[in-house]
Structure 1
Amino acid sequence: MASSRSLHWSRWSRWFPTSGLGTRPGKLRLPVFDRKTGVSLVTFAGIPRLIGKLELPTLRSQAELGNERKLELPALRSQAELGNERNQRNEQKPRRPGMLAVLALTSLLTGCFKLGPDFAAPDLKVPEAWLDRDNALLKRGDIRAWWKLFDDPALNNVVDAAYRQNLGLQAAAVRIMEARAQLGIARGNFFPQKQQLGVDLSHNQLSGNMPNLEGYDRVYTAFQSGFDAVWEVDIWGRFRRGIESADAQLQASLLDYDDILVSLTAEAAAGYAQIRTFQQRLTLARENRDIQQNSLRIAEAQFRNHISTELDVQQAKALLYATRALVANLEAGLRQSTNALCVLLGLAPDHLTALLGDGTTIPAADAAVTVGIPVEVVRHRPDVRREEFKAAAQSAMIGIAQAELWPRFSLQGSIGLVSGSTNGVDAFDILGMHALAAKVGPTVTWPILQYGRLKNNVRVQDARFQELLIGYQGAVLTALREVEDARIGFLKAQEQVAELKTSVNAARRAVDIALAQYRDGVEDYTRVLNSQQFLLQQQDRLSGSQGDAARNLIAMYKALGGGWEIREGKAVVPAEVRQTMEARTDWGEMLER
C-alpha cells in the first residue's frame, strides 16, 4: 500500500477532567477513576499509566475540601457588572475565525481547480452528401415513426407490442435506474463524506497481569456517545469530475436504451416482413402444387389413351413431389420465424397468431424513402452519441486520477458525551456538562511513496480515453457504411422487384400456352414441365425480392437511427416492473421518469 504522511491540527475542549495532563488527540481511550484520591488515569490500549509527572494529592477530609471550596467562591455581583466584565474580556481576547469563515473558505477552495481535460467532442469527418443523392427514390423527411409509412395495422401492433413487452429493453431501462442511482452517489460524495452517530456503553476489567497503581480499580464502566463528521474539500475537482463522469454514464445508458429501441423496432418489423414473405411464398408454392397435381392427372390420362409415353407421367410426378418438398420446407421456415418473433415480443405463439391476423401481404412503403444528409444521420443515431458520452465519462476519469497525485484537505470534527466510573454510569454522569467532549480541525494527507502507481493510473485512464475516441470515430464510419449498404440494397431490390414482376407475368402466360398445346397434342409434356418449373422459380424469386426490399427499407430506417422517439413522454420502466421494484426498495420518484 502507498504510504502517506498526515498532518493534524485539532482544537479540543472538555475531553476529560484530566485533559490538562498533556494527552494527544486521537490516542485517548477510557478514564479510570480512583475512589480514594479522585485522580483520573488515562489508558492507552488498555494499559493505565500517568501522563507526564503527576503529583498525587494528599488525603484531606470532606470538611477541609468544603472550606477550600467556600474560600474560592467569588462575591455576588449584579448582572450589569457581569455583562461589563464579559465585554472587557471579549475586547481583550483575539478574535478567532468562526465556522462561517471556515465554510466560506471551503466553498472558495472547492471552486478553485479542476484537474484533467475538459471534454470536447471530436470533429465529425463525414461526407456532405450520400452516393446516388439525385435518385428519385430518396428524399428528406420524418423518420420518427417510420413503420407507419407501410400503412399496415398488423405491423403497427407488432412494433407496439415489442416496445411494451421486450425483456431486453426492460433490462436496459433498469440499467438507466442504476446509472441514476450512481449519479446520486457521486453527488453525495461532494458533501461531508462521513456522518456517523455512535453510542457505546461497556463494562471493563483490566487483566491482573497488567501493571496498575495501587489504589486504582481495574474494573470500571465507560460510556461514550457522539457525532463524527469528515468533509474532504474538493480542491482539485476529484468529486466534481466524479459527478461529470457519472452524469455522462447516465446519458450513455439512456442512449444505449434508445439504441436498443432502434434495433428492437427494426428487428420486430423485419421479423414481421419475414413471416409475411414466408406466407406469400408458401401460398404460391401451394398454388403451383395444385397446378402440377392437375398436370399429372392430364399426363396419366394421355398415357392411358396411348397418346403419350410413361416419361410424361414420371416427369410430372417428379415436379409435383419436388414442389411438395418445397411446401414442407417453407412451413418449417414460417414456424421458426414465428417463434423468433414471439421471443422478441415476449408473447406465446397463439397470441402472436391473433396479433398478425389473416393477411399475407408483404409490407411495402411508398417508392420514395426518407433520407437525411450524413451529418444529420450521425447526430441522430443513438449509438454514435452513446460513444461520445462514454468518451466524456472516461475523460473525467483522467481528472480523478490526476487528483490522486495531490494532497487531500479535510475538515473533521466530533462532539459527544464521555463518562466513566467504577460505580456504574448514571444519567447525571452522562448528561452533565462535565461529560461533554468535542474536537474540530483540518487534516492534510499526501501520498508520498506511491512507487509510480498513481502516475501509471493516470496513463491507464488516458489510454482508455483515447481508445474510446477511436471507437467513436469507428462508430461514425460504421453508421455511414450501414446507411450506404441499406440504401443500395433497397434501391437495387426495387429494381429487381420490377423486373421479376414482368418475368412472372411472362412465365404464367407460357404455362397456359404449353398446357393448351399439350392437350391438343401439338407439344410434348417437356414444354409444360419446363414452363411450370420456371413459373414456380420466378414467383418464389419475386416473393423473396419483395421481402428483401421490405427488409432493406427497414434496415435503412434503422441505419438512419429512427424509432427511438416512441418512448418520448413515457416512463422508461414499465408499470409492472416499477411496482415490483417499489415494493422491494424505496426508489422515490426516480422510477417515474
Structure 2
Amino acid sequence: MSLFTRRPERLLLIGAICVSGCVRVGPDFHPQREAWIEHWSSRAVEEATTQGSQPDIRQWWHVFSDQNLERLITEADANNADVRIAGLRVMEARAQLGIALSGSYPQVQQANADVLYGDRKRSGGDRPRSGGVLQYSVGFDFAWELDFWGRFSRAIESADAGYFAARANHDDVLVLLHAQVATTYFTLRTAEARLRIARENAKLQKRSYEITERLFKSGESDELDLQQAKTQYLGTLASIPEFESQIVLAQHALSVLIGRPPGPLPELAEQPEKEGVIPLVDHAVLQDVPANLLLRRPDVRAAELQVASQSALIGVAEADLYPSVTLLGTLAWTASSAAGAPNTLALFAGPSVSWNLFDHGRIVNNVRVQDARLQELIVAYQNTVREAAREADDAATGLIMALQRDSILHDAEMAARRSLTLANTIYREGYSDFQRVLDAQSALSSQQDAYLVNRSNAVGSLIALYTAVGGGWYTGAPLVDPDTRRQMQQRTDWGDMLNESDPPSITTRHAAPQGGPGE
C-alpha cells in the first residue's frame, strides 16, 4: 500500500485545526427596527379595539357566527390557487435549503472504475505465443472545500431565512384570502339587502304611481303629479338590475376564491335567515398590544426575513476575497490478471489553496451589489412596517366613524318612515299636494340605503382592522394538498420533505417576535 504520508493522523489534525479556526466574514443579521414601533399606539386603534380572548385573532371571522362564511373560508383554504402556489413555494424554498446544506459535505465525490485489456506476445521457441491481460482499477476522488471564511454557513443562513420567509409569505396569502372571502361575502349580503329595500320601495312607489294615474284620468289631479310619481318609480325600478348584477358578480368572485369555476353558490341558500343580513359589529378584540401585532404580521415578518437572507449573502460574496482551502484526496485500487502482478491500494490526500488575486475589482463590486440590495430591503422593511401602522390606523378610524354614524342613520331612517306616514295622511285629507309624498318616499329610500351601506362599511372596516394587525393566518389545511402531494411524489423522490415539520431555524429566533404566527 502506497500512502501520501506515513502519518495520516497529521492530515486529520491539520483539518481539525482548519475547521476549528474558521471565521464567518460578512455582517451578522440584526433587526432593523425603528424606535417608534416598539411602543407604537394609535388613539383610533385604542378606541376601536378592546382586550379579550375571543374571538381568536387567528380566526377572527368567528365573531360573525355565520356558518356560511366559515364553510367558504374552509373551502378556500383547501382549494384557492394562490394558497396552493404559496405552499409549493415553501416546498421550493425547503429544497433550496437542502441544496445549501449540501455545501457542508465534500463538494466532489466521484467514483470511477476501469477495465483494460491488453494482448501480450512472446517470441522464441518453436512459435510465438500470445495471451490477453486484464487490468482493473477502482478509484474514489473527493474534494472538500473547508468553510474557512463562512461561505457555506452564510449560504445556509441565507437559505434558512429564505425558507421561513416563504412560510411567512404563505401566512400572508392566508391573511389576504380570508379578508377577501369575508369582504366579498358581506358585499353579497349587502347587495341582497339593498335589493330587498329597492323592491320594497318600488312596490310602494308603484302604488303611488297607480293612484296618481287614476286621479289624472278622472281629472282630479294634474299630469305633473303623474309624471313625478312615474319618474320616481321607474328610477327605483332601474336600480334593481344593478343590485342583481352585484349579487351575481359577488357569487362569481367567491367561486373563484374557493377554487371553483364562476357560478352560483347554492349552499348559501341553506341558511335563508342569513340572506340580506348585515351584522351589527362592535369593537375588534385583540389578544396583544398593537405594536407587537404589527411586528407579527406575516408580510412584516417576511420582509425582515428577506433582510436576514440578503445579509448572509454579503458574507458569501465577501468570502471570495480570501483564499479557499480544499482537501483533495484519491483512494485507488488496481489489479491485473497477469501472473505475478501485484494488487495495489493507494491513498493520496493533501490540501490545496487557491486565491483569485487578479479579479479583485469584480469581487469587491459584487460585495457592494449585495450590500446595496441589503439596504434596499432594509428600507422596504421599514416602509412595510409604516404601511402596516397606517392600515391599522385607517381601518380603526373607519370603524369608529361607521359605528358613530350607525345610530344616527338608524334614527334618520325612522324619522323618514314617520315622515312618509304623515305625508300620506295629510295628502289623503287634502291638506297637502302629492309632492310632499314623493319627497318623503325619496327620503325614506335614500336613508334606508345609506343605513345599509354604512353598516356594510363598518363590517368592512372591522375586517380591515383584523387584517391590518395580521389576523387570520390560521388554516387547518396542509401546505400541499393530498392530490398534489401524490402527483409530486410520483414524479420525484421528495423523501420526507413534503411533511409539515420545519427544519431547525438559524435566523427566525432573531427575525420574529415570540408568539408570532407559525410558532
Q: Counterpart in 2 of 1:587?
A: 494
> Residue 133 of structure 1: CA displacement?
6.0
Q: 1:390 aligns with which of 295, 306, 318?
A: 306
Q: 1:150 aligns with which of 64, 80, 86?
A: 64
Where do residues 147-226 of structure 1 align in structure 2 (5 Å cutoff)?
Answer: 147-200=61-114, 225-226=138-139
> Residue 96 of structure 1: CA displacement?
4.0
Quickly say closer, same or farther: Cα 1:405–1:312, change in 2 above 3 A: same
Quickly say closer, same or farther: Cα 1:279–1:429, change in 2 above 3 A: farther
Distance 1:174 1:430 in 2: 61
Q: 2:357 aligns with which of 431, 445, 448?
A: 448
Q: Deviations over 1:512-571 (max 9, x none)?
A: 22223333333222111111111111111111111111011000000010111335xx63
**Larger helix fraction of residues:** 2
Question: For 1:590, what is the secondary structure of its paired residue?
Answer: coil
> Residue 431 of structure 1: CA displacement?
12
Quickly say closer, same or farther: Cα 1:404–1:449, change in 2 above 3 A: same
Residue 421 of structure 2 is aligned to residue 512 of structure 1 = yes
TM-score, normalised to structure 1, is: 0.76
Question: For 2:354, what is the secondary structure of its paired residue?
Answer: strand
Q: Counterpart in 2 of 1:209?
A: none
Where do residues 373-452 of structure 1 align in structure 2 (5 Å cutoff)?
Answer: 373-417=289-333, 428=337, 433-434=342-343, 436=345, 438-452=347-361
8 Å contact from structure 2 (residues 44, 396) kept in 1: no
Quickly say closer, same or farther: Cα 1:440–1:136, change in 2 above 3 A: closer
Quickly say closer, same or farther: Cα 1:519–1:402, change in 2 above 3 A: same
Residue 198 of structure 2 is aligned to residue 285 of structure 1 = yes
Distance 1:573 1:558 in 2: 24
Q: Counterpart in 1 of 2:33?
A: 123
Moved more, 107-116 or 553-562: 107-116
Moved more, 158-167 or 476-485: 158-167
Q: Counterpart in 2 of 1:315?
A: 228
Q: Deviations over 1:427-462 (max 9, x none)?
A: 726997446555322111110110500011111111
Q: Over alpha carbons, which structure has the higher Rg?
A: 1
Q: 2:179 aligns with which of 263, 266, 279?
A: 266
Q: 1:464 aligns with which of 356, 366, 373?
A: 373
8 Å contact from structure 1 (residues 241, 400) kept in 2: yes
State the percentage of identical aligned residues: 37
CA-based RMSD:
2.8
Distance 1:460 1:384 in 2: 24
Count the aligned residue pairs: 481
Where do residues 52-63 of structure 1 align in structure 2 (5 Å cutoff)?
Answer: none
Distance 1:526 1:382 in 2: 57
Q: Counterpart in 1 of 2:151?
A: 238
Q: Counterpart in 1 of 2:485?
A: 578
Question: For 1:561, what is the secondary structure of its paired residue?
Answer: coil
> Residue 577 of structure 1: CA displacement?
1.6
8 Å contact from structure 2 (residues 142, 328) kept in 1: yes
Moved more, 102-111 or 310-319: 102-111
> Residue 235 of structure 1: CA displacement?
0.7
Distance 2:341 2:281 in 1: 87
8 Å contact from structure 1 (residues 417, 430) kept in 2: no
Quickly say closer, same or farther: Cα 1:258–1:519, change in 2 above 3 A: same
Q: Deviations over 1:226-267 (max 9, x none)?
A: 221111111111001111111000110000111111111111
Q: 2:43 aligns with which of 124, 132, 139?
A: 132
Where do residues 525-536 of structure 1 align in structure 2 (5 Å cutoff)?
Answer: 525-536=434-445
8 Å contact from structure 1 (residues 571, 591) kept in 2: no
8 Å contact from structure 2 (residues 256, 262) kept in 1: no
Q: Counterpart in 2 of 1:538?
A: 447
8 Å contact from structure 1 (residues 362, 550) kept in 2: no
Distance 2:337 2:117 in 1: 18
Question: For 2:326, what is the secondary structure of its paired residue?
Answer: strand
Q: Deviations over 1:266-293 (max 9, x none)?
A: 1111111111111111111111111111
Distance 1:431 1:442 in 2: 35
> Residue 294 of structure 1: CA displacement?
1.0
Q: Deviations over 1:483-507 (max 9, x none)?
A: 0000001110111222111111111
Residue 169 of structure 2 is aligned to residue 256 of structure 1 = yes
> Residue 222 of structure 1: CA displacement?
7.7
8 Å contact from structure 2 (residues 111, 140) kept in 1: yes
8 Å contact from structure 1 (residues 504, 538) kept in 2: yes
> Residue 349 of structure 1: CA displacement?
4.7
Amino acid corresponding to residue 428 of structure 2 in structure 1: R
Amino acid corresponding to residue 472 of structure 1 in structure 2: Y
TM-score, normalised to structure 2, is: 0.86
8 Å contact from structure 2 (residues 290, 469) kept in 1: no
8 Å contact from structure 2 (residues 191, 246) kept in 1: yes
Moved more, 372-381 or 353-362: 353-362
8 Å contact from structure 1 (residues 110, 233) kept in 2: yes
Q: Counterpart in 1 of 2:387?
A: 478
Q: Deviations over 1:310-358 (max 9, x none)?
A: 2211111111111111111111122112211111111245562314643
Q: Counterpart in 1 of 2:510?
A: none
Distance 2:180 2:339 in 1: 70
